[in-house]
Structures are given as structure tokens and as C-alpha cells.
Amino acid sequence: MPQGRAPDDESFDECVRSAFEAAHGRLSWKRTAETIAGAYGLFAVQIIGVDKSDGRLMFSWTSSRASGPNELSYITEYHGENPRIAPALQLQGDAWIRDHDLFDDSFVARSRFFQDFAIPFGYRFLSGTKLVDDARQVVLFGAISSAEAGPLSDETMASLTRLRRHLCEAMDIHLMLGERHEQTLGGTALLEALPWAVLLIDETRRIAWSNERAGALRSTCRLGDIDSGHFSLADPRDDNRLTAEINDSMRSAATGQGDGPRRFALRIGEPDTGSDALVLGLLLRPEETMKAFGHSPRLMLIVHPLRSTAAPDPFLVGQVFGLSPAESIVAVRLATGESPEAISRDRGVSIFTIRSQIRMILDKVSVSRQVDLAGILARLPITDP
């Protein structure tokens, strides 16, 4: 049964006020997305802008419940498989797409985008429209509900259509006021939402961007002098290993070899001194990431202290072992002692699907037993509270 709700007049007016505050720079568009999601009872709201001249992601503002690692997974791995994009770009005037009208259950069951990304992260149903479509850019708005909530009701859609007119006006003001976006802004805005120390570097190790957590870890994780503008590790042996990984990654970028993002995981420091950490590297190719991080290849580095815990972080598990989001969730829950049957019931997925995912997980992690999987994952970083 269709879900969602149409807000009362006071909540609707607050959505409108928030949009115009964001348009004039007095409030973040992310906060506006959160206001709309709360008023309409949505899983998430997303507003993205794309430069038509080169396909570059100019910005992506998503309500906080859906931001962070899942957005990064979308940009780096799944945006090219999103079947919603083509019909959204063909929209005219004030029309909407509602993906449950376009894609039936059979299509969804066969779609890697839906099965490995959208459904595990809660992005099952989307109603989308254009806010701007001119010679320079296109701006899309998406209202998202989960599989449990179902598609949005007609009443909710009628209210969103009414809200759309105000959002279009606000976005026109935002763009007219000359808000310009650096080439890396679309991507770094996503990285800001990540709960770890994150840096972007080029092939010379020049730091193009870093967050505050990276600077805070300099002494505890034996990093080099980040303030110098170049990334290094204090231990020469660790630094030499990092050099080899960087060279391999950038060679992959130059030759175009390999499918999907090039990743590596490097353990640094000494466990006895409490300085050991995981350095996770992910190659960001511009042609595969909507140029969200610039027009040349860059490496995203995540640095995280290693702590013993029964709850490893699903995103890092996926990046280290090349698991899909769905497989990462199952792997972490297995590692914390849940049975396949319990995971099947809780996620609303058949036991046959769960067992198939478990076989894929064990193969990718190169273990044969679930107890061995738990031991390996227990040595990875956890999600920060």
C-alpha cells in the first residue's frame, strides 16, 4: 500500500522557508533536504546537480539518514547501473518519474543496482523530478522511501508537486546568485559525511583535500606531516609499502586495466604500541565517478585505528574485500553471531538468497568457514559512535 504523508500547512511552510533560506546561503541545502524528509516521512531526500558540458557532479545534497558511505558507494560503483537516470533526464516540465511504475518486481529481482545497493540501503522506491534544466546544468530532486514503507501515496505526491514549484524558484535563485562549485566540491561534500579520517591525494602524494579527523590522527597512527601538503607515513617500511600500492593504483588508472574501482588495504604501525591502523586506498577514476573529485585520477585514503570489536564497519568490510553493500551487511551480521535464518527474517530476503550471498562472501574473503570470517572481520575498524 502506498506510504508517506502530506505535511500540515505549518510543516509545508517550513519546507518552503528552508528552501529559500538555502537559496540565499543562510542555510545548507542538506538541512533543507532533512526538513523535507522529516515533514513528508521519507527515508531520504536527495538534490543533485550535474554540469551538462562534461557530466561532472556539481553537488549532491542528501538528508543525513542516507548520506555518507552509501552515497560514496553510489558515486564510485553504482551510478552507472542506475536505471532511473535515463527516464529522469527525459522528463519534461513538471512531470515526475515513479520507479515502481517503470520497473516491476521481476526487473528489480534481476537488477544489481536494486539488489546490491538500493534495497540494502533503503533506496527502494523513488519519485523524482527536475528542478532545473537549462543549457548549462540539470538539477534533480528525489523523494525516497524504503521497501517496508512502499511507494508514496497520491496525496503525498500531490503535496510534493505543490512544493516543487517553490523548490524550482529557490534553486533558480541559488544558481542566479552565482553559486559556483569547484571541480572537487561534489565529491568532497560526500566525503565530509564519512565518519573516518579521509584524504584525497594525487600520484605525487599531494593532498588535494583532507578532513579534520586526518589531522587528529597524525600522532596516534604515525602519519607524516600532513601540514606539509604531502601524505607520508612515519615508518619508512610502511611508507615504502604505501608507495608500491600508490604506484600500482595509478598505473591501473593510466592503463585502464581492471574492472571497477582499484582498492588496497594496508596495515601500518605496531599493535604493541597502540599505533596500528588500517590505510584503505580507493582509486577514483574521473570517468567512473561523474568527475566528482576532479578531471584526473585521485586516491581516496581512509585511515582508521584498529580496535578489537565484534562490530566491524560494513562499508570498510566491503571496500577491503570487494563485497557488495548487501554482502557486506550479511558478512558483518554473520561475524557478530547471527544465523542465516535470522538475517533472512530480519531483512525480508529468502534464505536461498542469504545462503548464496554467504557463499560469495566466503569466496571473496578466501575462507571456507563462517568462524574464520568472524575472526578476520573482528580485526577491522568499527563504525564510530
CATH number, domain of 324, equals 1.10.10.10
Flag whether 216 is in a domain: yes
Q: Are residues 360 and 266 in the same domain?
A: no
Number of structural domains in the chain: 3
Residue 320 shares a structural domain with residue 366: yes
C-alpha dist (Å) from residue 346 to 120, 125, 329, 337, 343 = 12, 19, 12, 14, 5
Of 26, 33, 289, 66, whose CA–CA distance to 179 is shortest?
Answer: 26
Last residue of a domain, one of 306, 339, 373: 306
For residues 297 and 346, membership in a common domain is answered with no
In a domain, 48, yes or no: yes
Does 290 lie in the same domain as 368?
no
Residues 218 and 252 in one domain: yes
| pLDDT of the residue at 87 | 94
Give CA separation, 35 vs 21, 63, 175, 311, 329, in Å.
Answer: 12, 8, 21, 31, 28
Domain that holds residue 210: 196-306
Mean pLDDT (the chain) is 84
Q: What's phi and psi for 166, nearest 5 deg?
A: -70, -40
- DSSP string for 211-255: -HHHHHTTTTTTB--GGGTB--BSSHHHHHHHHHHHHHHHHHHHH
282, β-bridge pairs: 263, 300
342 and 294, same structural domain? Answer: no
- Structure confidence by residue, pLDDT tens digits, 213-232: 887 776 666 676 676 788 88
Tens of pLDDT, residue by residue over 376-385, are 887 665 544 3
Q: Which residues are 57's β-sheet partners?
A: 50
Residues 51 and 290: their CA atoms lie apart, in Å, by 10
Cell of 215: 589531522
Q: What is the pLDDT of residue 154?
A: 93
Stretch 348-377: mean pLDDT: 88
Q: Do the domain assignments include residue 191? A: no
CATH number reported for the structural domain that contains residue 207 in this entry = 3.30.450.20
**Residues 135 and 218 placed together within one structural domain of the fold:** no
Q: Are residues 98 and 166 in the same domain?
A: yes
Q: Give the helix, strand, coil percentages of the chain, each rounded to 5.
A: 50, 20, 35
CA–chain centroid gap for 351, Å, is: 27
Domain assignment present for residue 189? The answer is no
- Neighbour tally for 360: CB within 10 Å: 16
**Band of pLDDT at residue 249, cut at 50, 70 and 90:** confident
Are residues 302 and 336 located together in one domain of the fold? no
Q: Which residue has the higher pLDDT, 188 or 300?
A: 300
